[in-house]
Amino acid sequence: MNHDTERLSAMIPPLCIWYEANRKPLPWRNDPTPYHVWLSEIMLQQTRIEAVIPYYQRFLSELPTVFDLATVSDEKLMKLWQGLGYYSRARNLKKAAVRIATEHDGRLPDSAEALKQLPGIGDYTAGAIASIAYHKPEPAVDGNVLRVTMRLLACSDDIMLPATKREVTALLREVYPDGKHAALLTEGLMELGETVCIPNGEPHCEVCPVRELCRAYENGNPSEFPTRNARTSRRTEERTVLLLKHDSRYAIIKRPPSGLLASLWEYPNREGTLSEEAVTSLLTAWGLEPKAVTSCGTAKHVFSHVEWHMTGYEVLCDATSPSFVYATPEEIAERYAIPTAFRAYTKKLS
């Protein structure tokens, strides 16, 4: 890697000035307390800013302090998080909040190293909290920051390698300011990567505040950076989803406490693509006496490592099963956290 700290140091003043003049008015930026920064950064992982804003506002309305988060019921927490995906983030938030409430008097630690001892807080989130909320000279390196840095340095190191991220973090730490400018630099690097030095398509070099310092811009090839290896392809799983209706209530069941979508509620489903006849046979074996089986279409949901290709059926049943909880569509909407993966079928409830 090109250890051009002079170039990186020179980018800080123009980038901070640009950010102050151009930053988006996001709710967590209005009052960047450690709790607010932490919550927003966790929500923003793998999720678009526009999607996060209403969740963030609703979450803070219900759980305005670390102590509220530490004592919230798991059911309410999952309901507040429903639709954001990657539910382990919410579970780790609560685990960390319990630690913060009991071991730190409700105040997040102010050092990156101490923050990383908490569940769900890694190098990036620790750096973001330390720099944005506590004004510590601590970089927060995510995909945006990696892309900006590799273009500035015209560095072709593979950004998918953990060693590359460690090197970039160490390099930035050498030039990072403290105080207000630590926060401005962290936010500025993120904003630049999101709006100007973008990942897909041509970067908007004509409006970049640091283009005169960018080696990739000088060379005329910014789109060639960063370099990344091929991603591992996702596996595909076929599933059959059953909307089992008895009177006006539908069957739901809680998933296991570990693994994908742990402890969330779902509609009964089975691996494979079952025909109507196979569904009827299965439910008869369960003692549910199906009266009518109706197709309710197919759907696909993409996780980071697997794709679900789903076939759904609504089944009117003459009996219920003690294996399931039965709830009306209104009760499901209000009380039970059904993953976004099943959204297409939740819309079919009537």
Residue 41 annotated to the active site: yes
- Please give the DSSP secondary-structure letter assigned to residue 158: B
Cβ 135 vs Cβ 179: under 8 Å: yes
Cβ 335 vs Cβ 75: under 8 Å: yes
Residue spans of alpha helices (H) in the chain: 5-22, 27-30, 34-44, 49-62, 66-71, 74-81, 88-103, 112-115, 123-128, 143-153, 162-175, 180-195, 215-219, 276-285, 329-335, 343-346
d(CA 343, CA 328): 16
Q: Which of 6, 20, 41, 331 is catalytic?
A: 41
Other residues' Cβ atoms within 10 Å of the Cβ of residue 1: 15
As a dihedral over the C-alpha atoms of residue 123, residue 128, residue 130, residue 135, rounded to 10 degrees, the angle is 150
d(CA 343, CA 274): 20
d(CA 26, CA 176): 24
Residue 271 CA: distances (Å) to CA of 277, 302, 336: 16, 16, 23
Which residue type occupies 240? T
Residues with Cβ within 8 Å of 85's Cβ and at least 6 positions away in sequence, in order, are: 46, 47, 339, 340
What would the two tokens of residue 133 be?
């909320």
Q: Annotated catalytic sites, by residue? A: 41
